Amino acid sequence: MKVLMISTDKKIFEENSGVRQRMAEYGTLCEELHIIVFARRIKNQELRIKISNNVFIYSTDSLSRLLYIFDAYKIAKRIFQNTKYKIQNTLVTCQDPFETGLAGWKIASALGARLQLQVHTDFMSSYFARHSLLNRARVLLAKFLLPKADCVRVVSERIKKSIARITKAPITVLPIWTDIKKFQNADGERIRARFPQFEKIVLVVSRLEPEKNVAQAIDIFAKTVKKYPKAGLLIVGDGSERSRLSLLVEKYGVSGNVIFLGVENDVAQYYAAADLYLNTSLYEGYGLSLMEAYAAGLHIVTTNVGIVGDIVSGDGVLLCQVGDTGCLLSSLSSILLNSRRLIRALAQTSKEEYLLAYKKQWELCAYK
């Protein structure tokens, strides 16, 4: 089986990134893995990089985002013109049912290959469409492309239910792999020592983008800190909203209680140091940080998104509807008053088992 992947994740070009390591692991599941990445033209950027014996990554090297799909198509034709393998056992898999999905559909149609669309975000959420005109167009595009897929991989039961009426293709639920033991066994003493001024620590791990709605988390915390002046909010992550959120913290007068930490490679120690995890996202396809907080045994106050109610549920999970400030505020206050570390009996799927499941869902699509 040969696999052609269409992606937008530019971290794959970083030599020591987790994304590149993951792609090398996926390469062990097939004869060849070719990954075309939507990327703008960069001076001296290598256009084809071999990252393992059978894994190759390609930049579309596009002059404009408008050319991503066209350039991806040209690269795919070049790859398969030079191949000695038959097309019939080739799978085209796309990171999303939007722009990469459109490129993948055109490529699969031209090659006579099988098409897999992956869905990582809850695009059927009304909040997704409200976010931008582009997102509204993406919803329409997904509704057009999903019925044309030979198979679909989603990361949560929530997404599967939301798209079941759109496509008749087989839908496989394969969540994102999490090293549960890493978060269960992490030590947070070093982080606690860095912030001795905080008796209670509330944690947010998130990209600082509009859909993550971190502004609401700051708003709720600013009201809570009046009652708990020795509480601290640690925000791990970065994004386009960083400056706006910093100004918001100053506006509320809580600069001494809210710490922006930027991107951290070892987030497990922050979960180990925290007393509570706060999530105010408008929508999530999965919600990796929710899984990490759950594995770490944290109490969680969260909006009803992603894997909440499915994997993340039960004792210590306080659920509020998206945008319900009153519920989030009262939940946060009640847990801060009496927070304790929880021990959750979670089954750990090994990396080997996960990769076998990943290979199986590829094979079911490619060989049908």
299-303 β-sheet, strand order? 258-262, 231-236, 200-205, 276-279, 299-303, 317-320
Instruction: Please give the structure tokens belonging to residue 135.
Output: 């997102």
The owner of tokens 């992603």 is 306
**Per-residue pLDDT tens for 166-180?**
999 999 999 989 999
Q: Tens digit of pLDDT for each residue in 195-215? A: 999 999 999 999 999 999 999
What structural domains and CATH numbers belong to the chain? 2-177+351-366 (3.40.50.2000), 180-337 (3.40.50.2000)
CA dist 295 and 298 (Å) reads: 8
Question: What's phi and psi for 68, nearest 5 deg?
Answer: -55, -50
Answer yes or no: pTM beyond 0.85: yes
**DSSP code of residue 208:** -
Per-residue pLDDT of the chain (368 residues; tens, 9 = 90+): 899 999 999 999 988 888 999 999 999 999 999 999 999 988 777 788 999 999 999 999 999 999 999 999 999 988 887 655 556 678 999 999 999 999 999 999 998 899 999 999 999 999 999 989 999 999 999 999 999 999 999 999 999 999 999 999 999 999 989 999 999 999 999 999 999 999 999 999 999 999 999 999 999 999 999 999 999 999 999 999 999 999 999 999 999 999 999 999 899 999 999 999 999 999 999 999 999 999 999 999 999 999 998 888 888 899 999 999 999 999 999 888 776 667 666 777 889 999 999 999 999 998 87
Which tens digits make up the pLDDT trace of 15-62? 888 899 999 999 999 999 999 999 998 877 778 899 999 999 999 999
158, 122 Cβ separation under 8 angstroms: yes
Q: Beta-strand (E) ranges in the chain?
A: 2-7, 32-37, 48-52, 55-59, 90-94, 114-119, 151-154, 171-173, 200-205, 231-236, 258-262, 276-279, 299-303, 317-320
Q: How many CB atoms lie within 10 A of CB 41?
A: 14
Give CA angle at 43 (38, 49), nearest 5°: 55
Specify whether the backbone of 135 is left (phi greater than 0), alpha (psi in -120 to 50) or beta. Answer: alpha
Q: How far apart are CA 276 and CA 340, in angstroms?
A: 9
Query: How many helices (H) and strands (E) in the chain?
Result: 14, 14
Helix pair angle (242-252, 214-224), 10° resolution: 20
Cα(139)–Cα(134) distance, rounded to whole angstroms? Answer: 9
Contacts of 345 (CB under 8 A, 6+ apart): none
127 near 282, Cβ under 8 Å? yes
- Least Cα distance to 181 among 347, 360, 363, 356 occurs for 347
